[in-house]
Amino acid sequence: MSILTWLVIIPLLTITGILFVKDARQAKIVSAFGMGIQLIVSAVIVYSYVALRNAGVTDEMVMISSYEWFRSLNIYYTVGVDGISVAMIALTSVVVFAGIFASWEMDDLRKEFFISLILLATGVFGFFISLDLFTMFLFYELAVIPMYILIGIWGSGPKEYAAMKLTLMLMGGSALLMVGLFGIYFNSAPDGGELTFNIIEISKITIPIEAQRWFFPFTFVGFGVLGALFPLHTWSPDGHSSAPTAVSMLHAGVLMKLGGYGAFRVAMFLMPEAANEMAWIFIILTTISVVYGAFGAIVQKDLKYINAYSSVSHCGMVLFAVLMMNRTAMTGAVIQMISHGLMTALFFALIGMIYGRTHTRMINEMGGLMKVIPFLGVAYVIAGLASLGLPGLSGFVAEMNIFFGAFEHPDTFRRVATIIAVSSIVITAVYILRVIAILLLGSIRDHHFDLLDDAKWYEKLSIVSLLAGIIYIGMAPLHLSDIIRESVMPIVDKLL
């Protein structure tokens, strides 16, 4: 069995373990233990991937293993990774690990919470390793549905509304996606022969252009919903602000990346001609996402809403970069996924921790928190600086690549779009610095806040594991981009 399959098996074993433990304390220990192992396995996978590449293996996908499933429909359970998926796996395992520790002090139905959370993670891991569209789709839906329960039970605010809206919109996206997948499947053998769901096989043939024109929008929009493509992003602010901490972390940090990842791995990679033809529509939409999300964040007063809108902006940037279809921008897109994943997870973790202490998320009700909870405060500042693209942190590397790559295009349309999108950096600086000023600096607004405790050990563990990623990518970006760059090539080559 390939080591990749363990990424699905370990979470399932962990869930089974949680089912059999007696109390909630043991449940969280089992979860932390299981996800710790998951983290180690992911590290081993990254290491062996790099070793394979250094040994001169040039296959598009490595560590492939394949089991026949539904023979008559040619459906296989096929797993394999390239640099992009390896990077996403590493991101996911870090965020899940941090998420477990961020929800160390849950009350109410804790066993169920960890089971749902890890089930969600199972779907995400499965999605990133799948090379078969059917299995990929299965894992995709598996990742979405636990959200309903997670937000509905443990959320806050208008949680029932938010949970239903999020689930229905995302499943609506997956409904469109399903039609797109059928289109791909039934056109996967234009010269006769056996139909297939296998991504590598399909990428070797050319799907007839008429079919591409029909099914590319279905597939791209289907994934785009999860990637917060304007105007289908409205689930994101409501969903993220109502979700409990760990769920916001996982959702904004990882789940939204499924959208970006799917958009180029499936929609654009398999239907490149249609992607080229229709890119302009989606470039307009994603440019709106980027700028609109940033402006949206400026006017919000609730910390979670600010971060949710900022996620719309940053995830829009991923799709924007993907549509630029060159090596630099694509590499930037993947780095942005990783960087935003870590950063936004950190934000949501910190917001959850601050909220747990102050019992409010309204920024104008807080102030001067840096004096009482310096650890959380400093972490918030670092996350903020990464978000606005300060050199030395991960955000800079990502945005640099994206905008540099986007501007490489000679045509005016893309350059104008790039210029508009770049303006979001300035707007981001405005809302980030505004929050930091009101929230952390100045005088303490409420004397109750004098008594607040700083981060506990498990909170520190959660924060540090995310911070380490952000700083590492910022300081040594080549380690990451070397892994990604080679794997971006096959996709870019098909698109040109």
Q: Between residues 73 and 209, which has the closer beta carbon with respect to another protein?
A: 73
60 versus 160: smaller Cβ distance to another protein: 160
Instruction: Compute the least distance from the CB of residue 35 to another protein, in Å.
Output: 20
Q: Is 167 in the site for another protein (CB under 8 A)?
A: yes
> In the bound complex, what is the minimum distance in angstroms from residue 187's beta carbon to another protein?
11
- Applying CB under 8 A, does 157 fall inside the site for another protein? no
What's the closest the beta carbon of residue 454 comes to another protein, in angstroms?
34
CA pair distance 8, 108, nearest whole angstrom? 27
Q: Which of 3, 29, 214, 489 binds another protein (CB under 8 A)?
A: 214
Indicate the residue among 149 and 463 with the shorter CB distance to another protein.
149
Position 72 contacts another protein (CB under 8 A): yes
Identify which range of 139-147, 278-286, 322-330, 360-368 contacts another protein by CB under 8 A. 139-147
Binders of another protein among residues 299 to 358 (CB under 8 A) are: none
Provide, rounded to whole angstroms, the least separation between the CB of residue 173 and another protein.
10
- Work out whether 171 is an interface residue with another protein (CB under 8 A): yes
Interacting residue with another protein among 21, 164, 200, 378 (CB under 8 A): 164
Candidate residues 21, 50, 160, 456; the one interacting with another protein per rule CB under 8 A:
160
Residue 28 or 159: the one with the smaller Cβ distance to another protein is 159
168 makes contact with another protein (CB under 8 A): yes
Tell me, residue by residue from 363 to 402, as one string, x for binding to another protein by CB under 8 A and - for no binding. ----------------------------------------
Nearest CB to another protein, comparing residues 169 and 317: 169
The correct pick among 97, 101, 185, 282 for binding another protein (CB under 8 A) is 185
Minimum CB separation from another protein for residue 348, in Å? 22
Selected from 176, 254, 271, 345, the binder of another protein by CB under 8 A is: 176
State which of residues 101, 148, 309, 431 lies at the interface with another protein (CB under 8 A): 148
Residue nearer to another protein on the CB measure, 28 or 111? 111
Give CA–CA dist 496/485, Å, rounded: 16
Judged by CB under 8 A, does residue 183 bind another protein? yes
Contacts with another protein by CB under 8 A lie at: 69-73, 75, 134, 137-139, 141-142, 145, 148-149, 152-153, 159-160, 163-164, 167-168, 171-172, 175-176, 178-179, 182-183, 185-186, 214
